[in-house]
Amino acid sequence: MREKPRRSLRRLLTAALPALTLSVFGLVAATPAGAQPAAHAAVQSAQVSKVTQNAKALTAPAAQAVHATGKAGQKVPTERLCATAAPGSASCFAQRRTDIKQQLAAAVHSDAAAAVSGLSPANLHSAYALPSTGGSGLTVAVVDAYNDPNAESDLATYRSNFGLSACTKANGCFKQVSQTGSTTSLPTNDSGWAGEEALDIDMVSAVCPNCNIILVEATSATDANLGTAENEAVALGAKFVSNSWGGSESSSQTSEDTSYFKHPGVAITVSSGDEAYGAEYPATSQYVTAVGGTALSTSSNSRGWTESVWKTSSTEGGGSGCSAYDPKPTWQTDTGCTKRMEADVSAVADPATGVAVYDTYGGSGWAVYGGTSASSPIIAGVYALAGTPVPVTTRRSTPTPTPATCTTSPAATTAPARRVTSAPRAPATTARPAGAPRTAPPPSPPAPPRATR
């Protein structure tokens, strides 16, 4: 793939192309003198205003309050928003707390940031030492199944209540499309997946409020439709794509790798699942970043936060495992898995220390969510803050935030964008949750040769 032009060249083209267009069509419509500079200045002013507003919202002293909802590893009542996936399909991983009363925005105290339970955008920025600026002009895509008819309005409520800039279809920040790119012919509404979509776009907003967001909705939760939506997200220009869904591995997944996830120059994050040990696909794809889960709580230490691997029980926690099919990428050097290992990085996912989300389609407003469904869009947002990925053909193409981007580094087992190089420590015989059996993997076949693009 040809390297992206340097920033200075992009700026030159941005200025030159409109002038060229006007010169070609000058006989049709003449532009008044000074109109272009004025329009350009207005756009720049709007961008500066947005960045300033978001930085203030994330750093304001009043926004730093933490409304904790539990302790790390605590068993809390939740509902899984999506049913167990059938073969050839995927399930979303979103979990919503049922012991915390949901509230519509109208019923919340006027100081909503202080009244809403769960981790806020400012909390996440504090915990991961993220920059309060960055991401302008970059696009993060979220791929899910079915339609959330309230996605835009719920996102508006989430952002306004935390003081973030508006992100709407009208101002070009938010786009909601089908797997074919249509903005008018969207899939069937689904209350379960709608909750997943609300969680995903809220977390992207929380971490990278200056980023544009594309919500790509697959017609159904089949592997083929979700894969088609993945390709559409990339075709629409997203350099960061989050996927908070998955299912069991299969012998056909290496073909799906090439068809749907091999996108050099695009950082693709995938949730590793919420059932502790046991490989999930597409998290085990060699072309993605598999995102696990942690429990995140405040602390009196120098970081101000303490973080540990999310493990509620032997069958509930951040997913990990060894792939039976995908070959081990060259950047993985552990000896615990002969093939691809997951997870690679982690972020908060424990429902006991969950995040605030606003959803009114299938939900009743403000609620606390958890699961690695939260950590995947969080990491996608972190990658966007680090800048545009380098177009090479392995997951090493994803950028790692540097001290200039993330000023401090959390513990190695929990730091966003830090690779895990040791094998998952759990017996391969760990039981699966009731209703979600996983058969023992067959003998690993020889890895097929990688296709070229």
The backbone torsions φ and ψ at residue 132, rounded to the nearest 5 degrees and listed phi first, read -85, -5
Residue 420 has pLDDT above 60, yes or no: no
What's the length of the chain? 453
Pairing mode of beta strands 212-218, 245-246:
unpaired
CB atoms near residue 255 (< 10 Å)? 12
What pLDDT digit, counting tens, does each position of 209-263 carry? 999 999 999 999 999 999 999 999 999 999 999 999 999 999 999 999 999 999 9
206/213 Cα distance (integer angstroms): 12
Tokens 């030492």 label which residue?
Answer: 129
Express each pLDDT in 167-220 by its tens digit: 999 999 999 999 999 999 999 999 999 999 999 999 999 999 999 999 999 999
Confidence (pLDDT) at 390: 75
Q: Is the pLDDT of residue 453 over 70?
A: no
Amino acid making up residue 170: A
Indicate if the pLDDT at residue 164 is higher than 90: yes
Round the average pLDDT of the chain to a whole number and report it. Answer: 81
**Gap between the Cα atoms of 267 and 264, Å rounded:** 8
pLDDT tens for residues 86-116? 999 999 999 999 999 999 988 886 566 668 9
pLDDT at 113: 62
Cα 340 to Cα 321, 346, 448: the distances in Å are 9, 17, 14
For the CA atoms of 415, 130, 405, 54, the dihedral, rounded to the nearest 10 degrees, stands at 160
CA-nearest of 291, 287, 395, 418 to 342 is 291
pLDDT score at 114:
63
Name the phi and psi angles at 39, rounded to 5: -65, -40
Q: Is the pLDDT of residue 432 over 70?
A: no
39 pLDDT band, cuts 50/70/90, is low
Decide if 416 contacts 402 (C-beta within 8 A).
Answer: no
Q: Residue 140: in which H helix or E strand, if any? A: strand 139-145
pTM: 0.79
The pair of three-digit structure tokens given for residue 79, joined into one six-digit string:
């509902």
Mean per-residue pLDDT, 14-40 = 38
* Helix and strand counts by DSSP (H, E) for the chain: 9, 18
The helix (H) or strand (E) run that includes residue 48 is helix 35-59
Condensed to tens digits (0 to 9), the pLDDT of residues 347-391 reads 999 999 999 999 999 899 999 999 999 999 999 999 999 998 877
pLDDT: is 19 or 135 the higher one?
A: 135
Split at pLDDT 50, 70, 90, the class of 303 is: very high
Residue 249, pLDDT score: 94
pLDDT of residue 418: 40
Query: What residues have CB less than 8 Å from 20, skipping those under 6 apart?
Result: none
Phi–psi pair at 411, nearest 5 degrees: -55, 150
What DSSP state is assigned to residue 94?
-
- Give 424's pLDDT tier (boundaries 50, 70, 90): very low
Residues 6+ apart with CB under 8 A from 272: 246, 280, 283, 290, 291, 292, 293, 318, 319, 320, 342, 343, 372
